[in-house]
Amino acid sequence: MTMPSIVSRESTQNKAVQIQLDQVEKKFGELTVLNKLSLEIKAGEFVAIVGKSGSGKSTLLRLIAGLETPTSGFINFDDTTIKESKQSARMMYQDSRLLPWKSVVDNVGLGLKGNWVKRAENTLDYVGLLSYKNEWPSTLSGGQQQRVALARALVHQPSLLLLDEPLSALDALTRMEMQNLIENLWLEHGFTALLVTHDVREAVKLGDRIILIEDGKINLNIKNKAKRPRELSNASQALMEKNILEQIMNGN
Amino acid sequence: MRANFSKQLVPWIVPALIIVAWQLFSMYEIVSSQLVPSPWTVLSSAYQLVVSGELFYHMQGSLARAFVGLLIGGGIGFIMGISNGLSNISFQLSDTTLQMIRNVPNLALVPLVIIWFGIDEGAKIFLVSISVMFPVYINTLHGIRNIDPGFIEMGRMYDLKGWHLFKEILLPGALPSIFVGLRYALGSMWLTLIIAETIATSRGIGYLAMTAQQFMQSDIIIITIILYALLGKLADLLARWGEKKALRWHKNYAH
């Protein structure tokens, strides 16, 4: 099946951002959520961040998104500061956050200027939902809503896609479909992707690198060089999953 | 088809029985026809009022006051609701004052209003404005405050700022609540108008009722009451129509 491309190939590549976190600390009152955390993310890399609830993984994502400011430390994007690069970062949440008062295509076009309808429609076609363009979001299933949210993020051709547990509310089958969709989009467009998840298997399936955050610190930082698409039953992948899970369980 | 027809008929059984009973009461002079004129008398007086153009003239006066008052009071309430919903400083500054004024009964203002505005249109429009302002204010504020903060954060992430954020997210998100306020405001608008129009006037449905009282024309008083009921119902229908149109996306208003 050939998929319609959102934009021509030349403009999709090399539009990825490199991120550097230097001694980033985040406190909410007395509580230290991120503890002098340093991390380097290469342009075009797919980094999966795992950790228990309350480990600080979502806070890390929100800091990178510019939705929170670090208490101390720096976040640099290709040598530009957070505010400038925020323009080309897009975020997907656990809930789709589609505006219920806008049709599907108007949701995708949110924040676009000029003659955007064709672009929005192409992107909807890409996620396989063009025929739903005039529906209200409430009539769509959870998986379809997340597809629309994905289209809404992609239509801006982001150089950085931030995924905050976007698939955790979906059923297993839909989740696998969405994982493949995200992987294909990332392979084609080459943006930098940051996925926060509590599903270790998902992290192993998608990440070039899997980072485990515990108590605001990075306790594991593993590269995954397996070829894509990855077989979950593959022995080395299963072992990696097991090791990470063990570290989470025995960590504290 | 048959079931549908009888379903539409059922709500009108009680009103019809009341009118029949009313007609019988006055026909057999159980009460004096001076106090309770028969439906037939009321109907023919109504016809007289329509033909002479008098009814239209007074209705026009009342509707103009209602409309101008709604526009001014509703506008102020809407703007205050939006600004207090969005800005904490604005809320801190004005909410307490507004709540204090809200708790003053409108009618307590009548003597003061007459001194300030005289007995002209100004006084009536002022009273109507005051009465519609608060329901619109409170519900607009509530609507803005209740928007899912996730939507606002998402909007900021998608570069929506200022007017665009307002137009795409804040206003549509608050709209269901604003409509509740509007319908509430329409109710207190008629209520206040009735009383405002009993202050010396020469035009309006209230004037019609007051003069009818002086001349013991109970049929005309009844006509004005029915008129208020019909206008109130009409205004509510219009608001509901607008609500349904604007909130098609909302599952509670679909179909």
Contact between A67 and B150 using a beta-carbon 8 Å cutoff = no
Closest-CA distance of chain B to residue A35, Å: 25
Tell me which chain A residue has its CA closest to the CA of residue B157: A90
Contact between A101 and B154 using a beta-carbon 8 Å cutoff = no
From residue B191, give the alpha-carbon distance in Å to each of A151, B40, B231.
51, 28, 12
Tens of pLDDT, residue by residue over A183-200, are 999 999 889 999 999 899
A173-212 residues touching B, CB cutoff 8 A: none
pLDDT at site A249: 85
Residues in A closer than 8 angstroms to B250, CB to CB, are 100-101
Q: Are A174 and A150 in contact (CB under 8 A)?
A: no
pLDDT at site A93: 92
Residues in A closer than 8 angstroms to B156, CB to CB, are 67
- Dist CA A71 CA A243 (whole Å): 33
pLDDT surpasses 70 at A9 = no
Which of A62, A56, A104 lies closest to A86 in space, CA to CA? A62
From residue B198, give the alpha-carbon distance in Å to each of A250, B62, B119, B212.
81, 12, 10, 12
- Per cent of chain B over pLDDT 70 is 98
- Dist CA B97 CA A96 (whole Å): 40
pLDDT surpasses 50 at A12 = no
Tens of pLDDT, residue by residue over A120-130, are 999 999 888 99
Contact between B154 and A100 using a beta-carbon 8 Å cutoff = no
pLDDT at site B2: 62
Q: Identify any residues that bridge with A22 across adjacent strands, giving them in sequence order.
A: A74
pLDDT at site B175: 94
* C-alpha angle A7-A11-A12 in degrees, rounded to nearest 5: 70
Q: How many CA atoms lie within 13 A of A164 on its CB side?
A: 24
Alpha helices (H) in chain B, listed in sequence order: 2-9, 13-27, 39-52, 54-86, 88-102, 110-117, 121-145, 149-157, 162-165, 171-196, 205-214, 218-246
Contact between A100 and B157 using a beta-carbon 8 Å cutoff = no
Cα dihedral B60, B62, B68, B73, rounded to 10, equals -160
Tens of pLDDT, residue by residue over B59-100, are 999 999 999 999 999 999 999 999 999 999 999 999 999 999
Asked if B149 reaches chain A (Cβ–Cβ under 8 Å), the answer is no
Residues in B closer than 8 angstroms to A99, CB to CB, are 151, 168-169, 172
Mean pLDDT, chain B, whole residue set? 89
Residues in A closer than 8 angstroms to B249, CB to CB, are 100-102, 136, 138
Contact between A110 and B150 using a beta-carbon 8 Å cutoff = no
Strand-strand pairing, A89-92 and A72-77: unpaired
Tens of pLDDT, residue by residue over A220-243, are 898 888 888 887 778 888 888 888
Both structure tokens of B149? 């903060």
Asked if B155 reaches chain A (Cβ–Cβ under 8 Å), the answer is yes
Mean pLDDT, chain A, whole residue set? 86
Tens of pLDDT, residue by residue over B43-64, are 999 999 999 999 999 999 999 9
Query: How confident is residue A252, by pLDDT bands cut at 50, 70 and 90?
Result: low
Query: How confident is residue B186, by pLDDT bands cut at 50, 70 and 90?
Result: very high
- Dist CA A48 CA A55 (whole Å): 14
Residues in A closer than 8 angstroms to B158, CB to CB, are 90, 110-111, 152, 156
Which of A171, A146, A173 lies closest to A92 in space, CA to CA? A146
Residues in B closer than 8 angstroms to A93, CB to CB, are 150, 154
Tens of pLDDT, residue by residue over A16-57, are 888 888 999 999 988 888 898 899 998 889 999 998 888 888
Tens of pLDDT, residue by residue over B153-176, are 999 888 888 899 999 999 999 999
Asked if A26 reaches chain B (Cβ–Cβ under 8 Å), the answer is no
- Dist CA B32 CA B43 (whole Å): 18
If you average pLDDT over residues A167-188, what whole number do you get? 90
Contact between B153 and A136 using a beta-carbon 8 Å cutoff = no
If you average pLDDT over residues B110-136, what whole number do you get? 89
- Dist CA A138 CA A148 (whole Å): 12
Question: What 3-state DSSP class applies to B159?
Answer: coil
Domains of chain B: 44-253 (1.10.3720.10)
pLDDT surpasses 60 at A82 = no
More confident residue, A5 or A66: A66
Residues in B closer than 8 angstroms to A100, CB to CB, are 249-250
pLDDT at site B113: 87
pLDDT at site A80: 58
Contact between B158 and A110 using a beta-carbon 8 Å cutoff = yes
Residues in B closer than 8 angstroms to A87, CB to CB, are 159
- Dist CA A43 CA A18 (whole Å): 4
pLDDT at site A84: 53
If you average pLDDT over residues A86-103, what whole number do you get? 87
Residues in chain B, overall count: 255
- Dist CA A87 CA B70 (whole Å): 43
pLDDT at site A186: 92
pLDDT at site B169: 94
- Dist CA B90 CA B144 (whole Å): 14
Q: How many CB pairs under 8 A join A and B?
A: 47
If you average pLDDT over residues B210-219, what whole number do you get? 89
Residues in B closer than 8 angstroms to A97, CB to CB, are 148, 150-151, 154
More confident residue, B247 or B3: B247
Work out the number of other CB atoms within 10 angstroms of the CB of residue A208: 18
Asked if A139 reaches chain B (Cβ–Cβ under 8 Å), the answer is no
Contact between A91 and B173 using a beta-carbon 8 Å cutoff = no
B178-217 residues touching A, CB cutoff 8 A: none
Asked if B152 reaches chain A (Cβ–Cβ under 8 Å), the answer is no
Tens of pLDDT, residue by residue over B7-36, are 888 888 998 999 899 888 888 888 787 788
pLDDT at site A14: 45
Query: How confident is residue A79, by pLDDT bands cut at 50, 70 and 90?
Result: low
- Dist CA B24 CA B20 (whole Å): 6
